[in-house]
Amino acid sequence: MLDIWTTAKFSRMIEKLSVEINAPVMDTIVHYCERHNMEIESAAKLINSKLKRKMYGEANHLNMVKDDEEVRIKYGFTETDQLS
């Protein structure tokens, strides 16, 4: 049976799974894709902006991305938002 995912449904499921397995969002997405024979590119199309912000915050905390004004604006962070 083919399971049809919406962006909201997929992102909620990834957030929930991330908490359950105590893993960063990016690792959780990779884990899910490996377990369900899903292409990473397909999963990328299903990630909503809230999850993208969370992934950016995790990557920023690990110094994997630059923290600059342009990127903060792109991902919708405000001055009061904590990135991690």
CB 33 within 8 A of CB 43: yes
* pTM of the predicted protein model: 0.76
The pLDDT of residue 45 is above 70: yes
- Helix count and strand count (H, E) for the chain: 5, 0
What are the extents of the domains in the chain? 7-74
Q: Quick one: the chain helix, strand, coil %, rounded to 5?
A: 60, 0, 40
HSE (side-chain half, CA atoms, 13 Å) at 47: 23
Lookup result for tokens 């490996």: 34
pLDDT tens per residue across span 58-77: 888 888 877 777 777 776 76
CB 13 within 8 A of CB 29: no
